[in-house]
Amino acid sequence: MLLCFCSYSLVGKAQEQQQPVAKAPMRVVSKDTIVISRPQPSAPIAANLPATPPERKPVPLAGHKTYFGAMNDYVNTYVTKYLTAHNKTLSVVQTRSEKHFSLIEEILANHNIPKELKYLAVIESALNNKAVSRAGAVGPWQLMAPTARMMGLHVNSKRDDRTDWVKATTAAAKYLSILYDQLNDWLLVVAAYNSGPTPVLRAMQKTGSNSFWDIKKYLPRETQGHVLAFIATASIFENMSRFIGQQLPADFDPERHGKPVPAEKPRFTPEELSNMAIVRIKDPISLDFMAQELGIDKKLLYDWNDDYELFLTGTYAEPQYSLRLPKEKLEKFLEKKTYITTRSKKILDEIAL
């Protein structure tokens, strides 16, 4: 099984995925239903005027400081850890991409979509046109049947266009265009492609922001991981492809595209290692709640578990996580592990509502 790229593996496919949302006018009928009204043009377009495609923003990749701002170092660290965790699978997908990327890029270009959006197909299916998710999404773009039909595909017992590379990519391009026209940001588009537009719009309304980083904690954890995996995958293939399938140097730095930089100090000091206990956990917990419940310094807990975001968002390489905590808190953690895990589930679920 291919690890985090397939929507039918670690990343998963949200049940609500892909109910399209158009620019105005639009009416949300329910959580899963959005009605689109297509206005008629007020006047015919002059035949001698060329159609000008709307200007769209570039796709943000690791190192784009203007876009990521204070999150730039976080993104660079995440990309490095992602490449380390999924290097073998990226190598498999890189081989497959030689056959499919040129076709995808051509269709995306015809719909005025940046070529980097082709990596969404990597995240969705690992470029497997026969992929089927638990929720019923099918094909390289993991389209749900209602969305596929709305984008013009035939989906029935005798024919399923979602497995056809040309037809499925064309449908995905149409859907991505609809989402972008409404959201005006490619990271929000990727989020809406995974969860459906309703959770994204709800999070934007709750925060009053159109920044992914501002609304991130209000999105489903699966969707958070989906967006981060997209950033990492696109950044790796675009700027660090020579490291795919290779051993990363100890001084690897995404922002410099793998060019050597001064060696970093060891991850943990000898004193930290002597005071550290490691516990394997299989269910995500809230580090904030754990720190409060056990009386652990929150900054220390986050510093010692700086790759925990991968596990929390479902893009960790292993099914269990090696949680690091102070030795003097180990016994208390083991006593309260069940309570902390149960309570954390409620906390994390509430954040995503």
33 compared with 329, residue with greater pLDDT? 329
303 shares a domain with 175:
no
The reply to whether 236 and 309 lie within a common domain is no
pLDDT, greater one: 117 or 353 = 117
pLDDT value of position 310: 79
Q: Is the per-residue pLDDT at 324 higher than 60? A: yes
Q: Where are the alpha helices (DSSP H) in the chain?
A: 65-68, 72-85, 87-110, 119-125, 145-150, 165-183, 186-195, 197-207, 212-215, 221-239, 270-274, 287-294, 298-304, 308-312, 330-352
Rounded CA separation 251/86 (Å): 18
The answer to whether residue 10 sits within a structural domain is: no
Q: So what's the pLDDT on residue 265?
A: 57
Q: Read off φ and ψ for residue 238, nearest 5 degrees.
A: -75, -40
What residues make up the domain containing 332?
270-352
Q: 132: which strand partners?
A: 138
Section 167-179 average pLDDT: 96
pLDDT in tens, 107-155: 999 999 999 999 999 999 999 999 999 999 999 999 999 999 999 999 9
- For residue 261, pLDDT over 60 is answered with no
User: Given this model, what pLDDT does residue 352 score?
Assistant: 56
144, two tokens: 């749900």
In contact, 94 and 237? CB cutoff 8 Å:
yes
N- to C-terminal Cα distance for the chain?
30
- pLDDT of 3 over the 90 cut: no
Query: Is it the case that residue 242 has pLDDT exceeding 60?
Result: yes
Per-residue pLDDT at 348 = 83
Q: What is the residue-averaged pLDDT of the chain?
A: 82
Amino acid at 197: P
Report the alpha-carbon distance of residue 54 to residue 306 in Å, rounded: 40
Residues 316, 197 share a domain? no
Ramachandran area for residue 17 (φ above 0: left; ψ -120 to 50: alpha; else beta): beta
Residue 170 identity (one-letter amino acid): T
For residues 174 and 300, state if they share a domain: no
Query: Please, which pLDDT band fits residue 52 given cuts at 50, 70 and 90?
Result: low
- pLDDT higher than 50, residue 334: yes
The reported pLDDT for the residue numbered 316 is 74
Mean pLDDT of 244-271: 67
238 and 282: one domain?
no
Average pLDDT over residues 241-247: 85
Both 213 and 285 in a single domain?
Answer: no
Same domain, 101 and 206: yes
**Three-class SS state of 29:** strand
Within this chain, do residues 69 and 169 fall inside the same structural domain, yes or no?
yes
- Are residues 196 and 103 part of one domain? yes
Residue 264 forms part of a structural domain: no
Domain-embedded: residue 16: no
Query: 210 and 274 in one domain?
Result: no
What is the number of domains present in the chain? 2
Residue 269 has pLDDT above 80, yes or no: yes
Pick from 189, 224, 243: which residue ends a domain? 243
Report the CATH number that the domain containing residue 234 is assigned in CATH.
1.10.530.10
Nearest to 82 by CA among 296, 232, 266: 232
Q: Are residues 233 and 293 in the same domain?
A: no
| pLDDT of residue 181 exceeding 80 | yes
135: CB partners within 8 A, 6+ apart: 13, 14, 15, 17, 144
